[in-house]
């Protein structure tokens, strides 16, 4: 085993040592018996620089949705006032999200002035993993789970039965197992960025 590790390490170091020369040759530099070739350098730049610019542009204008919470893979910021039904993005701060804020994308399900109602559900065979149902002006917008997909206990957000204050929003998911306002409550509109689906 030690002999194999030695030979692998030796082969890797030889390959690593040859890498600068190979890169210089590929980019048109004069190395040993290889004459300089500026044409190769210009071709490499003509390919690499536009690709690098496109990657930079995409990273600054598009957001990959890393969960199945909403029916979108790629979103981008969109101008306009935030309204019910819009996709929005914000920094989530919550113990279950980890030690640093996480950028998440959700859907606005209920807004200021609308009546949000929380109904406790019985823990029976039909609702074996349900805790509370949330209704916005009488329409079901979410059912909280007692346990997450990884088995972690989930506490429903305690609301009761009263209107959402102005400037606040209940955020939901297109997926039943999404982590949204069912667990962390209302979010201030000023913290949200309006998004639109690209893909």
Question: Which of 17-31, 51-65, 166-180 has the highest average model confidence (pLDDT)?
Answer: 166-180
Which run of H or E residues covers position 142? strand 139-145
DSSP conformational letter for 36: P
pLDDT value for 1: 47
Domains of the chain from N-terminus onward: 1-61 (no CATH), 63-197 (2.10.109.10)
For the chain, how are helix, strand and coil distributed in percent, rounded to 5? 30, 30, 40
pLDDT digits (tens, 9 = 90+) for 24-63: 566 565 555 666 666 766 777 677 777 766 665 555 568 7
Contact 154, 95 (CB under 8 A): no
pLDDT digits (tens, 9 = 90+) for 71-130: 889 999 999 999 999 999 999 999 988 899 999 999 999 999 999 999 998 866 555 688
Give the position of tokens 């190395």. 31
What's the rounded mean pLDDT across residues 126-138?
Answer: 85
pLDDT value for 110: 98
Q: How far apart, in whole angstroms, are the C-alpha atoms of residue 182 and residue 119? A: 12
HSE at residue 199, side-chain half, CA atoms within 13 A, is 7
Angle at 21 between CA 15 and CA 27, to 5 degrees: 125
Total residue length of the chain:
199
More confident: 197 or 122: 197
In this structure, how many other beta carbons lie within 10 angstroms of the beta carbon of residue 141?
Answer: 22
Q: Are strands 187-188 and 168-172 parallel, antiparallel or unpaired?
A: antiparallel
Which run of H or E residues covers position 44? helix 38-61
Torsion of CA 14, 16, 18, 19, to 10 degrees: 160
> Which of 34-43, 128-137, 186-195 has the weakest average pLDDT?
34-43
Nearest to 174 by CA among 102, 62, 96, 73: 73
Structure tokens at 60: 């600054």
Q: What are phi and psi of 56, to 5 degrees?
A: -60, -45
């Amino acid at each position: 085993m030690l002999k194999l590790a030695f030979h692998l390490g030796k082969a890797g170091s030889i390959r690593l040592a040859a890498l600068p020369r190979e890169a210089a040759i590929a980019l048109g530099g004069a190395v040993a018996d290889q004459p300089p070739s500026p044409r190769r350098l210009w071709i490499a730049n003509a390919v690499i620089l536009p690709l690098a610019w496109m990657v930079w542009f995409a990273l600054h204008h598009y957001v990959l949705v890393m969960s199945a919470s909403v029916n979108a893979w790629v979103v981008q910021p969109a101008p306009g006032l935030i309204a019910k039904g819009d996709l929005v993005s914000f920094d989530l701060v919550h113990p279950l999200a980890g030690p640093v804020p996480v950028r998440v994308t959700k859907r606005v399900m209920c807004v200021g002035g609308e009546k949000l109602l929380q109904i406790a559900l019985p823990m029976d065979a039909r609702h074996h993993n349900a805790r509370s149902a949330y209704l916005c002006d009488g329409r079901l917008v979410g059912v909280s789970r007692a346990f997450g997909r990884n088995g972690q206990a989930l506490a429903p957000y305690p609301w009761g039965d009263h209107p959402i204050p102005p400037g606040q929003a209940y955020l939901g998911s297109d997926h039943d197992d999404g982590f949204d306002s069912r667990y962390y409550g209302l979010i201030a509109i000023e913290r949200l960025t309006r998004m639109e689906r690209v893909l």
